[in-house]
Structure 1
Amino acid sequence: MHKSAFYIIGLIAGVVVYLQSCSTSSSSRVIDQGRSDNIPETISYNFDIRPILSDKCLACHGPDANKREAGLRLDMAESAYKALKEHPSAHALVPGKPELSEVFLRITSPDTSIMMPPPASNLKLTAREIKLIEKWIQQGAAYEKHWSFVPPKKPGVPTVKLAEWPRNEIDYFILQKQEQQGVTPNEEADKERLLKRLSLDLVGLPPTLALMDGFLADKSANAYEKVVDQLLKNPAYGEKMALHWLDLARYADSHGYQDDGYRTQWPWRDWVIHAFNKNMHYNDFVSWQLAGDLMPNSTKEQLLATGFNRNHKITEEGGVIPEEYRTMYVTDRTDLFGKGLLGVTIECAHCHDHKYDPFSHKEYYQLFAFFNNVKEVGIESVIGGPDTYAKKPLMEISDEEVKSILSFVNKRDTNRLIVSVMGDLDTTRKTFILKRGVYDAPGDEVQPGTPKAILPFNPSYPKNRLGLAQWLFDKKNPLTARVYVNLLWQEFFGKGIVRTAGDFGMQGELPSHPELLDWLAVDFMEHNWDIKRLVKQMVTSATYRQSAVITPEKLAADPDNRLLARGPRYRIHAEFVKDLVLSSSGLLNPTIGGPSVKPYQPAGLWEGATSGRGLLSMYTQDHGPSLYRRGMYTLIKRTVPPPSMAIFDASNRDLCEVKRLKTNTPLQALVMMNDPTVLEASRVLAARLLQERGDVNAKIEKAFRLIVSRKPNEKEVAILSDYYNKELGKSTRASAEKSLAVGEYPIPANIDKVKLAALMRVMTTIYNLEETITKS
């Protein structure tokens, strides 16, 4: 059964990827305005009024001049206060007087000819929203700059009643809001579950038996902090931390589009892992990737870092229009900068003024200009040869450089190793506003610049990517620190303080704890953008260390855990599912870096989805140790991503992705029950346990600890032991050999195959527990 089911997984994977992309593009924002009809004593424009206008009004009365109705902008005070263009005696807003404000009169009017929003829009304000607007006008209709465009200031740490609970500053902000809502935090998680959570979060692997035993035996007050420090020093930390950055940077092993040829960007991935492990501070980490080639006395390592900008899809198809595709590459880099580093939907201004945020069509192309001077073409070479593995501009990494300045690059052979990097033209390429975003419809010429609503570009900065990096890390930039702090919070707590991690604009969600976000952002900058310090700050907080147990009362009061009165509980990422299986079974190959590998995959997937040209036209599975590399090293072909990974919501790396979907589908259970890697790991672990001394119960208890990362209780051991005995009683040598015929790892000679098959089924059952692949 397992082989046929595995083939089904492959066939369905493409549908899953399609549905993911549809879901991502159509996902809507949900603003939590509370279920109560209580109206705040003081109305905040940013937190009470702007979300209403953004949802219901700004499509017609917002920044986009082409879609603006009646010449009225409701996102700007000067426009909202002035006389209406069509009714000079009337004003949209009259501060202090709702009865004279056309906005209030129209949102409360029963007359469909003047009602706002118009009935044809299918938009309608709730009674609470109308009351908020009325009270806001009564209080003066005061506007505020959008919260995320105001540089963060470090608020004072709040006082709380339960003063013995907080462990660091984070907890005071969390507890203050809990106390305001009448909620109390959970007790600390037990040591076994806490260690599993921490190990998965810091290294992406389950804790070893030695680590578990040592932590359980350590009764010192700082036992937990010692484990945190130990895991932060583990080289696997860099691999774990790199994964979210690979999603953001849209790293893949193929060029994309129809031919989807092979590319060698993996040395850049090696650099990212290396940078996290040596705790390269965020300002340098990003600046090197944006502009390492432009830095004074630029090094080969800094040049390699700029591969970040060249991870986008690149066509190799004949018959394309080169300038069209070159423009697409520049657009991709611009959009990545906006979404991944600034957390805004700047791409919405590609064709016209942004409909909701204060980003003009012109400002988009001013930002575009920073990335428009790269010495690249839209179509280069022909698919197939080694010289097409990277596209110009490129760098070649020699064996000598790997032995010296680039020692972190895991180059295993003597073949040419080339990587696409950044390199600008000797002369400046002119940039024009593209009408409607069309590559061959140039408008006015523009110079490099940044959106003024965020931070005007400092004229003392060079007008190139190096200057853009300096602008990004200007202490007055309101977004950079907030956005990365939020991304890391999302990594450890499952949801960001701002849940729309790629949209801090007016259509994004409001932060659940705005003061905490600002405190963390400023603290991050004050400590020189130190990533490991920030990680340790989060995972040593009492907030992080809470039990994930939930009472019916807490579930009813806070189903989404926005108050963080319990620990995080959610399924781990696709790559870490594989890592957990390999690590717990003893199969994991811990080699760091190097080329991507091709593990087990259903036959025919690539062959049915390619042009038939190039290295990736046929899937040739790897063998030996390559089968047991960490999930992050699985080769990603963009047009046919790894099926098991896709089913567990991994990114196919087409575009910048700052937050993965979390879906639950029977296909995930199908993978865990039938994937050759899971079955092989079950067989290998069972064989190792059978070769050890001890009774069946002892073997089951050890397996449970290796896989689930805690000791099983008596009932769990009894159920699994009973299952083993039942399987042993009904198995024959023929049925056993059929079950064991999975995977390439050799079966030990002279082992009892009937016992092995029975114990293997027990191992598979433990792997299929929900708790196994859940961080809780």
Structure 2
Amino acid sequence: MKYKIAILLVLAVMIGALYAYKKGVFATEKDQYAALPLPETVDYNFHIKPILSDNCYTCHGPDANKRKAGLRLDVEHMALSELPESPGEYAIVPKDLDKSKVYAVIVSEDPGQMMPPPDSKLALNAYEKKLIKKWIRQGAKFERHWAFIPPEKTEVPKSEVSDWGHNEIDGFILDKLEGQGLGPSERATDETLIRRISLDLTGLPPEPEKVPTLLRDISEDKIDKVIDEFLASPTYGERMTQSWLDVARYADSHGYQDDSYRTMWPWRDWVIHAFNKNLPYDEFLTWQLAGDLLPNATKEQVLATGFNRNHPITQEGGVIQEEYRVNYVLDRTNTLGKGILGLTLECARCHDHKYDAISQKDYFEMFAFFNQVDEKGLQMDAVQAKNQKFFADPPFITITADETEDVLSFINMKKTPRLNVMVMNDSAPKTTYILNRGEYDQPTDSVVPGTPATIFAFSEELPKNRLGLAQWLTDTKNPLTARVFVNRLWAMVFGKGLVETVEDFGVQGSLPTHPELLDWLAVDFMEHGWDIKYLLKKIMLSATYQQKSELSPALKKADPENKWLARAPRFRMSGEMIRDYILATSGLLNKEIGGPSVKPYQPKGLWEETNAGGNRGVLTTYVPDGGEDLYRRSLYTFWKRTLPPPSMTIFDAPNRDFSEVRRQKTNTPLQALVLQNDVQVLEAARVMAQCMVSADADNPDYVTEVFRRILIRMPKKEELLTLKAYYHNALSIYQNDLAEARKLVAVGNYRQLDTDPAKTAALMLTAQVIYNLDETITKE
């Protein structure tokens, strides 16, 4: 009994302490919010709309089916009109708090009156209430959603106290820094910049042999020339394509249960080619969305439309064809929204969007552009699959080795003389219907192709097909297309976009940290012919990009997320880049460009575990490729939807079932285990060690050379002492156990060199340690 009393007393004390803690925290938060200074002018888009969106739009927003009391707060004339259920009262009366019902209910403490209601688990803090109060007093001015206002070039800010900066980007960045009481960091070293630029533009480290030559250049335009060199490299197109594959949901298998083989790699090779020849972004989009509808379309332009066919396709018997056909069209519509417009269009499939001014009718008008393809499904048998061919109902494009079309100039045909690749080809016009709750078998009202007028009206002069849609997207008056792509390139380089939610420029998305800079870059991008290389070079020549990435205690306290860019970012590379980095620095990387996807090392049995029965024959067992194909860039790794490459998914690669724009970023023990134990990493370390020992068996300074090759810099004294001690300790162990040394260096299929096993094993482990360093897998 006394134990029970003691336990109850302990629990009572704990609960009391927790209550006191929470009360203190809440009180602190309340005081903190109350103490925040209000802006001189309250801006609707940046101050008020986020509050209303988070707390009010669920019941008083765009979705008519969920709207309560007939009140809509996202549209100015409705928010300022007489309340439908309370004649004589108004939700908002500009400059009059006493008559503004909205203000009365948000400050009310009566549970029956307060808004949001207590059961919603939502509440405005003291600062938000003060913002709304000041906004109403200032006239309650509404604006269109910021992302739907066409971008304009504002005057570049000029500092009165600093001449820091190389171009217009720096003017905007410095203006924000000074507003936060911050200043920029010093310039990074040339070594750091060369590695940073190489990783950003090629996805690979610079070749160690080239770095000394680049460093010896003392001209003022050294970095300018470095950027040009990497932009001109064929590996630039591979780097840019890698990120586009996520957007395009590219895979080498169809998905669903059977998940059998598909031949879409020629489309992937076209993307590499398009980036390398610097196809303007407006054309890049137009070809992929509607290349087949261009006048006198070339085979290359038709091939580009494979973008629309990258979605999963079922091969299962007994399915309802119309259900899956509708799913394919839905997928294309959603990909357009997330991947190109930066909007969550899919939220309007079943009902009006709850936050953005996009109705269900708007959604199915967009859907109608993609609803003209005659898709009866895909049929394939095991024999055809083994021959890497498939036969589908039209449309498909056939490419043969004896053709002389330009399309073949960039496709590496290798051993496959004839290919069928799915592309777009509109059939007779179909009537599109709004689908009740988005269900394929519940058509309601018919619609014609169109776009949401809240974004940008679809001109009557445009054809109501995919070509018209592409022309609407790339119109310089479209407020989203250039903004979204510029922001995505910024995120690729800086690790985070000026709008952090690169996939969502809607009301629930993040607000831009530097809206004037984003708009300036978007307009400048269009003024320079949608030139992607021009935009990347502009960013990389900025002093903002060329800063050090060191995080001082003061900066950590003032701006822990580096929102204001007082330093260069520092973030882990993608799984593909990490693998390619290891292959490149070890000398294993096969630099061949294009061709069919390949199968590198993978743990045994994974495909068998996910196989649905094996009736299709081709993807039931994983058989790694041999020879040089084991060491192709990760861009070419075979991508099976039901089991993507595990060493990449562990580093947050998506499965590509649908378009993905922003990868999740995690830090898990599994990632460390991959770097410590994956056969590709161990083999790379072994090959590097054997090559060095073979070339110079008596080199007393192997460790320095390994360090330099991997990290593209010379080691510091402390680093070198630590690593040399590790090497010599391992050497001593393996000299006394040559059998264990030979066992260790036997890893991997790459040819073995006749080298001292003890030296090789010790140097191999030293290289592996360096591959596991945070600096190795980080872009800084």
TM-score tier (shorter): over 0.9
Could you say which residue in structure 1 is the equivalent of 2:398?
396
Could you say which residue in structure 2 is the equivalent of 1:651?
654
Could you say which residue in structure 1 is the equivalent of 2:633?
630
Could you say which residue in structure 2 is the equivalent of 1:28?
none
Could you say which residue in structure 1 is the equivalent of 2:505?
504
Shift of 1:608: 1.0
Name which of structure 1's ranges 204-213 and 124-133 shifts more when overlaid on structure 2.
Answer: 204-213
Match of 1:419 among 404, 418, 421: 421
Identity across matched positions, percent: 56
Return closer, same or farther for 1:382/1:117 CA change in 2, 3 Å cut-off: farther
- 1:770 matches 2:774: yes
Take 2:712 and 2:375, find their aligned partners in 1: how far apart are those partners?
50
Shift of 1:415: 4.0
- 1:760 matches 2:764: yes
Shift of 1:35: 10
Shift of 1:240: 0.3
State the SS of the aligned residue for 2:134: helix
TM-score when normalising by structure 2: 0.94
Contact preservation (8 Å) 1:261, 1:384 = no
Structure 1 residues 218-274: Cα deviation after superposition (integer angstroms, max 9, x where no partner): 121111111111100010000001111111000011000010000110000000000
Contact preservation (8 Å) 2:487, 2:498 = yes
- 1:457 matches 2:458: yes
- Match of 1:500, as an amino acid? T
Take 1:572 and 1:433, find their aligned partners in 2: how far apart are those partners?
43
Could you say which residue in structure 2 is the equivalent of 1:737?
742
- Match of 2:498, as an amino acid? I
Q: Which runs of 5+ in 2 are unaligned?
A: 1-31
- 1:263 matches 2:262: yes
State the SS of the aligned residue for 2:444: strand
Shift of 1:380: 3.6
Shift of 1:404: 4.7
Contact preservation (8 Å) 1:401, 1:407 = no
Structure 1 residues 287-312: Cα deviation after superposition (integer angstroms, max 9, x where no partner): 00000000000000000000000000
Contact preservation (8 Å) 1:261, 1:383 = no
State the SS of the aligned residue for 2:695: coil
Question: How do 1:147-166 residues align onto structure 2 when only pairs under 5 Å count?
Answer: 147-166=146-165
Shift of 1:77: 1.3
Contact preservation (8 Å) 1:598, 1:635 = yes
Could you say which residue in structure 1 is the equivalent of 2:171?
172
Shift of 1:162: 4.9
Could you say which residue in structure 1 is the equivalent of 2:87?
88
Structure 1 residues 308-367: Cα deviation after superposition (integer angstroms, max 9, x where no partner): 000000001111100000000000000001111111111100000000101010010000
Shift of 1:83: 1.4
Take 1:701 and 1:390, find their aligned partners in 2: how far apart are those partners?
57
Could you say which residue in structure 1 is the equivalent of 2:318?
319
State the SS of the aligned residue for 1:433: strand
Could you say which residue in structure 2 is the equivalent of 1:272?
271
State the SS of the aligned residue for 1:400: coil
Question: Which has the higher relative contact order, 1 or 2, with Cα contacts under 8 A spaced 6 or more apart?
Answer: 1
Take 1:381 and 1:269, find their aligned partners in 2: how far apart are those partners?
22
CA root-mean-square deviation: 1.4
Shift of 1:389: 6.7
Structure 1 residues 156-190: Cα deviation after superposition (integer angstroms, max 9, x where no partner): 11111354311111110000000111100000111
Question: How do 1:88-237 residues align onto structure 2 when only pairs under 5 Å count?
Answer: 88-237=87-236
Take 2:230 and 2:704, find their aligned partners in 1: how far apart are those partners?
25
Take 1:133 and 1:652, find their aligned partners in 2: how far apart are those partners?
43
Contact preservation (8 Å) 1:106, 1:115 = yes
- Match of 1:630, as an amino acid? R
State the SS of the aligned residue for 2:469: helix
State the SS of the aligned residue for 2:223: helix
Contact preservation (8 Å) 2:34, 2:127 = no
Could you say which residue in structure 2 is the equivalent of 1:609?
610
Take 1:249 and 1:338, find their aligned partners in 2: how far apart are those partners?
12
Name which of structure 1's ranges 99-108 and 401-410 shifts more when overlaid on structure 2.
Answer: 401-410
Take 1:411 and 1:84, find their aligned partners in 2: how far apart are those partners?
68
Contact preservation (8 Å) 1:324, 1:378 = no
Could you say which residue in structure 1 is the equivalent of 2:431?
430
Could you say which residue in structure 2 is the equivalent of 1:30?
none
Contact preservation (8 Å) 1:606, 1:617 = yes
State the SS of the aligned residue for 1:246: helix
Q: Which runs of 5+ in 1 are unaligned?
A: 1-32
Structure 1 residues 631-666: Cα deviation after superposition (integer angstroms, max 9, x where no partner): 111111000111110001112111111111111111
Name which of structure 1's ranges 36-45 and 621-630 shifts more when overlaid on structure 2.
Answer: 36-45
Take 1:762 and 1:549, find their aligned partners in 2: how far apart are those partners?
26
Shift of 1:217: 1.2
- Match of 2:111, as an amino acid? T
Shift of 1:402: 6.4
Return closer, same or farther for 1:404/1:249 CA change in 2, 3 Å cut-off: closer
Structure 1 residues 129-165: Cα deviation after superposition (integer angstroms, max 9, x where no partner): 0000000000111100001001111111111135431
Contact preservation (8 Å) 1:83, 1:90 = yes
Contact preservation (8 Å) 2:95, 2:139 = yes
Take 2:382 and 2:347, find their aligned partners in 1: how far apart are those partners?
33
Contact preservation (8 Å) 2:486, 2:522 = yes
Name which of structure 1's ranges 158-167 and 382-391 shifts more when overlaid on structure 2.
Answer: 382-391
- Match of 2:512, as an amino acid? P
- 1:723 matches 2:726: yes
- Match of 1:742, as an amino acid? V
- Match of 1:648, as an amino acid? F
Could you say which residue in structure 1 is the equivalent of 2:327?
328
Could you say which residue in structure 1 is the equivalent of 2:10?
none
Contact preservation (8 Å) 1:696, 1:721 = no
Contact preservation (8 Å) 1:359, 1:453 = yes
Take 1:631 and 1:390, find their aligned partners in 2: how far apart are those partners?
29
Question: How do 1:331-350 residues align onto structure 2 when only pairs under 5 Å count?
Answer: 331-350=330-349
State the SS of the aligned residue for 1:99: coil
- Match of 1:709, as an amino acid? I
Name which of structure 1's ranges 166-175 and 35-44 shifts more when overlaid on structure 2.
Answer: 35-44
- 1:662 matches 2:665: yes
- 1:552 matches 2:520: no
Contact preservation (8 Å) 1:279, 1:531 = yes
State the SS of the aligned residue for 2:446: strand
Take 1:389 and 1:639, find their aligned partners in 2: how far apart are those partners?
22
Take 2:240 and 2:590, find their aligned partners in 1: how far apart are those partners?
18
Contact preservation (8 Å) 1:166, 1:542 = yes
- Match of 2:596, as an amino acid? P
Could you say which residue in structure 2 is the equivalent of 1:521?
522
Return closer, same or farther for 1:698/1:674 CA change in 2, 3 Å cut-off: same
Take 2:699 and 2:664, find their aligned partners in 1: how far apart are those partners?
40
Return closer, same or farther for 1:384/1:40 CA change in 2, 3 Å cut-off: farther
Structure 1 residues 360-383: Cα deviation after superposition (integer angstroms, max 9, x where no partner): 100100000000001212454456
Structure 1 residues 43-66: Cα deviation after superposition (integer angstroms, max 9, x where no partner): 100000000000000010000000
- Match of 2:439, as an amino acid? V
- 1:671 matches 2:674: yes
